[in-house]
């Protein structure tokens, strides 16, 4: 076949070879699978020349981006797809070449039995990269650096939701099926381009939940654990046990839960879920400013973390101790009031506005459960929240600060690449702040102070990274409900804990 369809057929052959190498496609199913893809485009002229064409041996799971790209280019040239259809066509073609959920779950269970939970997760992640559900190349393209004890990333793929109303709208689904974007019924659902989504079951606290990797993850092996039932988010005593169940089975991951309040994380509040994955976030490495013992619970400690937000760490090798101590802190915080500090556990209408965000890892000390205290009070000066990012920082980050950012991994909006680029250009030229960028005045003034006339490009870039880390750290400081360690200590001593 020498016509325009030749490259299309060869690119499909390469994808079929990729599916055999990385997606469990049986050799006996290869012709059948190829025909499934042909059916999507009414292709019926595959000939001997096409079959004889060299198909490069399959490479790594992530090579799928190059292979799919070659297919889309060829299909566009041949007029099979129009411009603007690449995303949905990728999902359609890879959906036809991806294994059924039952096979994924069997293989996951076999890998876990043979090599443990972490090896099974690694295998599942590679599979989800290979079927294009996880956009690994986009994750790797995001700028990322460490600054001021935090990790800062700029997410080029994620749309920015500058208000909670927009975040909620982005997570809702019209039509009622599936009920929301994270419901189990999304597995294979073409209506949201989720033909390649694959999940595995996990049992948490005796309930049926499932795990899935996030398509636009913020870090390595980022995923969510979701209740099989579409039931609202909540944090209670049982939450701690569920988180422990997960890290018992997958000890190299962290798992945490956003405070179940609006404006705290851009999360889907309508459906109970946790977030976790394969990176230990900066807060987990924070040192203890003060350590307290727990009367009656030997071996358990509570640490006040050296951290800009208000964060505690409950440490014990014993599950029961973790659950008891964490729940005591949760219950106390949810009804804690301190008018002088602006902390009101309930608003004027009696709605709860205090909550904890728990997050757990396993270490040589046992379980380490981080507890981030959050409060949703508003004031005239801070209508979006007193303990949220304050308006002067909104040009950098206006979205709610959720579980991942509260732990020190910031996800900044992609627009900043262009905006900061213009600021860097102006600094290098010795010009002023561009007229249409007035909202960046604070950042600009701090940068010109720091640079003191230096116009070297590398120095400017370093100063911008430093400024971003500094702003993110101040935003975490905004979210702190106790502005100094003494207040945190008084709160904990009120619970009967004693400085060790």
Closer residue to Zn ion in complex, CB, 271/330: 271
Q: Near Zn ion by CB under 5 A, which window of 230-238, 310-318, 390-398, 430-438?
A: 230-238
Lookup result for tokens 């005045």? 441
Tell the smallest beta-carbon distance from residue 271 to Zn ion (Å). Answer: 3
Sign of CA dihedral 150, 156, 159, 160: positive
Residue from 194, 263, 271, 330 binding Zn ion (CB under 5 A): 271
- Report the C-alpha dihedral over residues 161, 199, 128, 35, rounded to 10 degrees: -110
CA-to-CA separations, 92 to 128, 192, 431, in angstroms, rounded: 15, 11, 49
Q: Near Zn ion by CB under 5 A, which window of 12-20, 78-86, 182-190, 451-459?
A: 182-190
Residue 283 as a binder of Zn ion (CB under 5 A): the answer is: no
C-beta neighbour count of 177 within 10 angstroms: 10
Closer residue to Zn ion in complex, CB, 144/230: 230
Closer residue to Zn ion in complex, CB, 179/474: 179
Measure the CA–CA gap between 113 and 124, rounded to whole angstroms.
14
Residue 492 as a binder of Zn ion (CB under 5 A): the answer is: no
Measure the CA–CA gap between 2 and 370, rounded to whole angstroms.
62
Closer residue to Zn ion in complex, CB, 233/464: 233
- DSSP 8-state symbol, 68: H
| Chain-centroid distance, C-alpha 132 | 17
Tell the smallest beta-carbon distance from residue 231 to Zn ion (Å). Answer: 8
Encoded tokens for 349: 């209408």
Residue from 230, 237, 362, 390 binding Zn ion (CB under 5 A): 230
Encoded tokens for 447: 């940068």
Closer residue to Zn ion in complex, CB, 179/237: 179
Contact letters for Zn ion, residues 183-212 (x by CB under 5 A): x-----------------------------
DSSP calls for 275-299? EEES---GGGGPPEEEEEE-TT-TT
Closer residue to Zn ion in complex, CB, 32/177: 177
Encoded tokens for 394: 């909104």
Closer residue to Zn ion in complex, CB, 15/182: 182
Residue from 180, 426, 464, 471 binding Zn ion (CB under 5 A): 180
Encoded tokens for 76: 């566009």
Tell the smallest beta-carbon distance from residue 212 to Zn ion (Å). Answer: 12
Residues that bind Zn ion (CB under 5 A): 179-180, 183, 230, 271
């Amino acid at each position: 076949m020498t016509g325009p369809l030749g490259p299309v057929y060869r690119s499909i052959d390469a994808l079929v070879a990729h599916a055999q190498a990385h997606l469990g496609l049986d050799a006996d199913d290869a012709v059948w699978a190829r025909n499934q893809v042909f059916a999507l485009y009414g292709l019926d002229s595959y000939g001997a020349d096409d079959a004889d064409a060299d198909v490069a041996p399959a490479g790594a799971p992530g090579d799928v981006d190059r292979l799919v790209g070659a297919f889309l280019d060829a299909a566009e040239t041949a007029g099979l797809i129009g411009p603007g259809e690449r995303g949905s066509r990728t999902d359609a073609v890879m959906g036809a070449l991806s294994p059924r959920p039952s096979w994924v779950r069997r293989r996951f269970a076999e890998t876990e039995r043979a090599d443990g939970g972490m090896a099974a997760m690694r295998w599942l992640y590679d599979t989800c990269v290979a079927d294009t559900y996880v956009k690994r190349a986009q994750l790797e393209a995001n700028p990322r650096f460490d600054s001021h004890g935090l990790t800062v990333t700029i997410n080029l793929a994620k749309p920015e939701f500058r208000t909670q109303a927009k975040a909620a709208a982005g997570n809702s689904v019209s039509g009622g099926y599936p009920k929301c974007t994270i419901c189990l019924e999304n597995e294979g659902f073409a209506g949201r381009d989720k033909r390649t989504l694959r999940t595995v079951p996990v049992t948490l606290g005796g309930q049926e939940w499932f795990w899935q990797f996030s398509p636009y993850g913020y870090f390595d092996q980022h995923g969510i654990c979701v209740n099989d039932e579409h039931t609202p988010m909540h944090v209670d005593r049982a939450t701690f046990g569920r988180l422990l169940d997960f890290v018992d089975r997958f000890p190299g991951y962290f798992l945490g839960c956003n405070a179940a309040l609006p404006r705290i994380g851009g999360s889907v509040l309508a459906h109970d879920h946790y977030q976790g994955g394969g990176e230990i976030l900066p807060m987990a490495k924070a040192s203890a400013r003060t350590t307290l013992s727990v009367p009656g619970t030997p071996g358990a400690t509570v640490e006040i973390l050296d951290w800009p937000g208000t964060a505690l760490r409950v440490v014990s090798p014993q599950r029961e101790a973790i659950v008891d101590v964490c729940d005591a802190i949760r219950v106390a915080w949810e009804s804690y009031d301190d008018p002088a500090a602006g902390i009101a556990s309930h608003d004027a209408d009696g709605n709860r506005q205090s909550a904890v965000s728990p997050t757990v890892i396993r270490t040589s000390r046992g379980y380490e459960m981080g507890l981030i205290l959050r409060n949703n009070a508003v004031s005239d000066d801070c209508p979006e929240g007193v303990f949220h990012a304050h308006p002067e920082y909104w040009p950098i980050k206006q979205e709610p600060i959720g579980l991942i950012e509260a732990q020190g991994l910031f996800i900044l909006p992609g627009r900043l690449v262009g905006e900061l680029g213009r600021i860097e250009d102006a600094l290098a030229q010795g010009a002023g702040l561009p007229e249409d960028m007035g909202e960046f005045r604070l950042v600009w003034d701090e940068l010109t102070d720091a640079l003191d006339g230096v116009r070297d490009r590398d120095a400017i870039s370093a100063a911008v990274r430093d400024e971003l880390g500094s702003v993110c750290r101040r935003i975490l400081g905004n979210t702190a409900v106790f502005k100094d360690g003494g207040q945190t200590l008084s709160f904990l001593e009120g619970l009967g804990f004693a400085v060790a």
